Amino acid sequence: MTGFATAKGSACGALWSWDLRSVNGKGLDLRLRVPDWIEGLETQLRTRLTAQIGRGNVTLNLRLSREEGVGEMTVNPGGLTAVIAAMACVETEAMQAGLSLAPATAADILGIRGVLETRSLEAESGPLLKALMADFETVLADFKQMRRTEGRALHAVIRAQLAQITTLVDQIAAASEARNTEMAATMRTNLARVLDNTDGADPQRVAQELALIAVKADVTEELDRLRAHIAAALDLLQSSDPVGRKLDFLTQEFNREANTLCAKAQHKTLTRIGLDLKTVIDQMREQVQNIQ
């Protein structure tokens, strides 16, 4: 199922943008491009995506940058005040002791630990991780909403296709009855012709062979299974659980029965309807690939 969501955010001196999208896939394939220096980020994102998405080729991109001023060196006012106060105290004690001290330069003061500080994203990766995961929930919610909207549209499409299949199955049943009547008349004519032109032919044996041909051409079982598949598909469409894989399997079964039916047709009308049935089944199978 396709889906798309983007968002931007900022916190802890960082700016970021999310890009989450998916296309059809038989299973779940996650491809994440996120900063690897934020410990635990990729693992948590994979866990959330796996819990919420059951099917599709999903790509998640996170672009992260620093806010202006992050990474630059700045003066720590508190540290500077403490250092100056300590230096004044030392100077006073030295004067009372009759000692003379060389004046301190700005470079000397800045070189003292705690006066200068540097803001870095790496130093705040813990709070940044929490902020990112909280923001990702909004992205994931938008993404799921888009998929739900598409799902509702596909629900209507597949129900319409199942209605078409039901109609075609009914037409096949009617055409099969007409074919059986024609086939019975043809077999009786052929049986009479064989018996009239063949010396020593066993009428009972010939009749058995013709009956065997009629049994092999019967499509009752295929029609029964097709109706059972229709009922199963309609039940799945009522479920709130992920049903994409089950519907995918059902469409394969639909197609198998349609192929067998066409192979048994031996009748122009029945073959035409059977081919129409295969066309609708193929169309439904393509749509089912979009369902989670």
Is 279 found in the same domain as 249? yes
Is 138 found in the same domain as 114? no
Is 137 found in the same domain as 28? yes
CATH number, domain at 32?
A: 3.30.230
Is 102 found in the same domain as 53? no
CA distance between the termini of the chain: 6
Domain extent, residue 89, equals 73-118
Is 61 found in the same domain as 197? no
Is 251 found in the same domain as 166? yes
- What gap in Å lies between CA 270 and CA 194, rounded to an integer? 28
The structure tokens listed for 227 are: 């109706």
Q: What is the pLDDT of residue 17?
A: 95
- Are 109 and 22 contacting, i.e. CB atoms less than 8 angstroms apart? no
β-pairing verdict for 28-33 and 14-23: unpaired
Q: What order do you get walking across the sheet with 56-66 strand by strand? A: 3-11, 14-23, 56-66, 28-33
Is 142 found in the same domain as 42? yes
Is 154 found in the same domain as 144? no
Q: Would you say the pTM of this structure is higher than 0.85? A: no
CB 17: neighbour CB atoms within 10 A?
A: 14
- What gap in Å lies between CA 200 and CA 194, rounded to an integer? 11
Is 192 found in the same domain as 81? no
∠ CA(121), CA(126), CA(130), 5° rounding?
A: 110
Q: What is the pLDDT of residue 41?
A: 93
Q: What is the pLDDT of residue 213?
A: 56
Is 178 found in the same domain as 82? no
Q: What is the pLDDT of residue 167?
A: 94
Cα 207 to its chain centre, rounded Å, is 57
Q: How many domains does the chain have?
A: 3
Is 254 found in the same domain as 127? no
Is 180 found in the same domain as 144? no
Residues of the chain where predicted confidence (pLDDT) is lower than 70: 1, 68-75, 110, 114-124, 180-217
- What gap in Å lies between CA 278 and CA 280, rounded to an integer? 6
Give the residue ranges of DSSP H helices in 4-122: 41-52, 77-96, 106-110
CB 163: neighbour CB atoms within 10 A?
A: 13
The structure tokens listed for 252 are: 């394969």
CATH number, domain at 205?
A: 1.20.140
β-pairing verdict for 28-33 and 56-66: parallel
Residue with tokens 């230096």: 87
The structure tokens listed for 278 are: 């295969």
Which residues is 33 bridged to in the sheet?
A: 61
Q: What is the pLDDT of residue 164?
A: 95
- What gap in Å lies between CA 274 and CA 175, rounded to an integer? 10
DSSP string, 150-209: HHHHHHHHHHHHHHHHHHHHHHHHHHHHHHHHHHHHHHHHHHHHHHHH-TT--HHHHHHH
- What gap in Å lies between CA 60 and CA 240, rounded to an integer? 26
